[in-house]
A and B are shown apart, each in its own frame.
Chain A
Amino acid sequence: MQPGEIKHHLKVFWKLLEISFMTKMAFRFNFLFGYLIDIGWLLFTLAFFKVFYLNVSEIAGWDYGEILVLLGVYWIYQSLIYGVVVIHNLRRLPLRIWNGELDFYLLKPLNSQFLVSCKEIWFPIFLNLIPAVIFIFQGMGITERSFNLSQILAFLVTTLAGLLIVYAIWFMAVCVTFFLDKVDNLPYLPQALIDYVTNYPIDIFKTRTRFILTWFIPLAFVTSIPARVLLGQLNSIYALWASLLAGIFIFFSHKFWRLGLKHYTSASS
């Protein structure tokens, strides 16, 4: 993409955010209720780990403070990935492919993958970024670690790359719809795997699984590795690996999308 096109897409993204805000504001109760459920989940996970750490002092090498940092990163992932791409977009993509609504996305002079991924943003979930940041600071406090600027920078890059990776994996899984008749549950399939792997430290897995989850289905880059980078337990070079993997995964997700589109039949009208 040219710089001019990136600017164009950012402008459209901003407009889409505005529109999502307007539509969600029209349903305030829904908005509030949705948020309460999120907070409920957040407290539930926290309680779950708290009970664990009453009995053990560490899980696979992660102590309570470190787990809090991990949970913080997990909630960053949750609010951004679910809010921007999953809830209103990837989950509905199979239906949009099936009923031909995709037509309108393809007709627009925009990158169609961008548009199907970000059209409707469920931004109330962005509020979860607040507890996420609190978790991280609290966790860092408990472990009595301080962080320097380069660590923060490496952390931000790794986190962003991790988000791109998890998005690409999710997106490719949903794109399988193009090759099947109709599969409503497809968007929930990656969710089960991804949420499971990213909610816990990657070290709870055995060596071989961990290796696969780090380099082949690199979900380790979503929460565990950024957390470790921030904690200063992993070298900043991981920011580079993360970016490289993100590039590869985004590239393949786009190829897969183009391949799927060849199989798109649209729905007759």
Chain B
Amino acid sequence: MSVIEVKNLQKFYQVHKKEPGLAGSLKSLFKRKYENVKAVDKISFSISKGELVGFIGPNGAGKTTTLKCLSGLLYPDDGKIEVLGFNPWDRKHEYLKKISLVMGQKNQLWWDLPPLETFILNREIYEIPKDRWQQVLDDLVELLDVSAILNVQVRKLSLGQRMKCELIAALLHSPEVLFLDEPTIGLDVVMQKKMREFIRVYNQKYKATIILTSHYMGDVQELCDRVIIIDKGRIIFDGQLQEITQRYADHKLIKVIFSKHIDEVKLAAVAEVKEYAYPSAVLRVKRGASNAAAAQLLKSFPVADLNIEEPQIEDIIREVFTGKDLA
């Protein structure tokens, strides 16, 4: 059953172009050049109940704009969106009670008050029955381990602690659909890890449908089976994470550990050397040629260990975005 249906969604922004410097500013006072920027350009996809989908793409690719259209904040210029059977733009109260949008860089907590006050306010706003609210709150507080800070002023919390509380505030009404926009931005490695664990548990426990955007491939790799890659407002890939490797990586990596020093020039004759620092080397070979290259290495060099590996997804995607031919 599909929970989210997007068909040919388009969203444009009008951006005014200013020439640099003071003169440019003065000029723009009288005459302005506007340019239409296609933030999202005819994208379509559908997501089933309980899926955890990763949106990836460089800055300005249209990830956040898509999430904002899905949550009813932005009015689409064209196309159709249906989430849980609702048109998000209508922002029906029944709809808003079933979704949540968490933005890593913005906060809804009251700055001067302890987080608990915001949680209580949200109980009133979302009309959550008291015992249900208490139960979900206890559950989330335990999962995120924040019982000690519920009564501390938000302004005195660390970024990680605040982010956890933001999540609680966004999840108290047990949304069926959750949009997470860069939920781990600015967090340290340990906290990122915890956040990921939490998202996974939440997805399983509450059977929530989740779309996650992130700059960190780690987030996506660890959490999502399915990814949608957006670039310049268009979807360039929609499928299983593993497929990316098969589809875009035309090469494999051979990692070798040598038992003795070797002649680097000779090594370069076998395959492209990406890294060499005795005793280890990384070679890059064409997909079909990896076995032959490995055999030659074993024959001609004092090899202690050898591995043929797929390139890192992060690297592949970087290559994809830096304008490599996608065909």
Binds B, one of A19-27, A122-130, A228-236: A19-27
Beyond A22-B113, A23-B113, A269-B182, whether A103 also contacts B106 by CB under 8 A is: yes
B108/A104 in contact, CB under 8 A: yes
- Please give, as numbers and ranges, the residues of chain B lying within 8 Å of A269 by CB-CB distance: 64, 103-106, 181-182
A109 to B128, CA, bound (A): 12
Please give, as numbers and ranges, the residues of chain B lying within 8 Å of A265 by CB-CB distance.
13, 74
Given A23-B113, A103-B73, A108-B96 contact (CB < 8 Å): yes
Which residue from A103, A109, A263, A266 sits with its C-beta under 8 Å from B125?
A: A109
A262 near B124 (CB under 8 angstroms)? no
Q: Which residues of A contact B108 (CB under 8 A)?
A: 104
Instruction: Choose from A15, A26, A261 the contact partner of B124 (Cβ within 8 Å).
Output: A15
Bound: A12/B73 CA distance, A: 22
Q: How far is the CA of A232 from the CA of B126 in the complex (A)?
A: 46
How far, in angstroms, from A108 to B95 measured CA to CA in the complex?
Answer: 10
Whether A250 is near chain B, meaning CB under 8 Å from some CB there, is: no
> Does A112 sit within 8 A of B, measured CB to CB?
yes
Q: Contact between A16 and B73 (Cβ–Cβ < 8 Å)?
A: no
Q: How far is the CA of A26 from the CA of B65 in the complex (A)?
A: 38
Number of A-B contacts defined by CB within 8 Å = 74
A106, closest chain B residue (CB): B73
A262-B77 Cα distance, complex, nearest whole Å: 10
Which chain B positions have C-beta within 8 A of A23? 110, 112-113
In the complex, are the beta carbons of B74 and A266 less than 8 A apart? yes
The one of B75, B91, B100, B113 that contacts A19, using a Cβ cutoff of 8 Å: B113
A interface footprint on B60-81 (CB within 8 Å = 1, 0 otherwise) = 1000110010011111000000
Decide yes or no whether A207 CB sits under 8 A from chain B. no
- Whether A11 touches B96, Cβ cut-off 8 Å, given contacts A23-B110, A103-B101, A106-B72, is no
We find that the number of chain A residues with CB closer than 8 angstroms to chain B is: 29
Query: Could you give, for residues 4-22 of chain A, a 1 whenever the CB lies within 8 Å of some chain B CB and a 0 otherwise?
Result: 0100100110011001001
* Whole-angstrom CA separation of A260 from B208 in the bound complex: 32
- Is the CB–CB distance between B74 and A107 below 8 Å? no
> Taking the complex as formed, is A101 at the interface, i.e. its CB lies under 8 A from any CB of chain B?
yes
Residue B289, interface by CB 8 Å? no
Give the residue name and chain of the B residue nearest to A261 (CB).
B75
Q: How far is the CB of B306 from chain A (nearest CB, A)?
A: 45
Q: Given A106-B91, A110-B93: A181 and B16 within 8 A (CB)?
A: yes
Measured between beta carbons, the chain B residues less than 8 angstroms from A185 are none
Q: A11 vs B16: C-alpha distance in the bound complex, in angstroms? A: 43
B257 within 8 A of A: no
Q: Which among B72, B74, B97 has the highest number of chain A CB atoms within 10 Å?
A: B74
Bound form: Cα–Cα A42–B101 in Å: 45
Q: Are B113 and A12 in contact (CB under 8 A)?
A: no
Contact B120 A264 (CB under 8 A): no
- Chosen A-B contacts, 24 in total, with CB atoms closer than 8 Å, are A5-B93, A8-B127, A12-B121, A12-B124, A15-B121, A16-B121, A19-B117, A23-B113, A103-B101, A103-B103, A107-B71, A107-B73, A108-B125, A109-B93, A109-B97, A109-B127, A181-B16, A264-B73, A266-B68, A268-B60, A268-B64, A269-B103, A269-B181, A269-B182
Pairs of residues from A and B, 9 with the lowest C-beta to C-beta distance, nearest first? A109-B93, A109-B96, A104-B108, A23-B112, A262-B75, A269-B105, A15-B124, A109-B97, A12-B124
Since A107-B99, A112-B91 are in contact, a sample of 14 more A-B pairs with Cβ atoms closer than 8 Å, ordered by chain A residue number, is: A8-B127, A23-B110, A23-B112, A23-B113, A26-B112, A100-B106, A103-B68, A103-B73, A106-B91, A107-B100, A108-B125, A109-B125, A109-B126, A268-B60
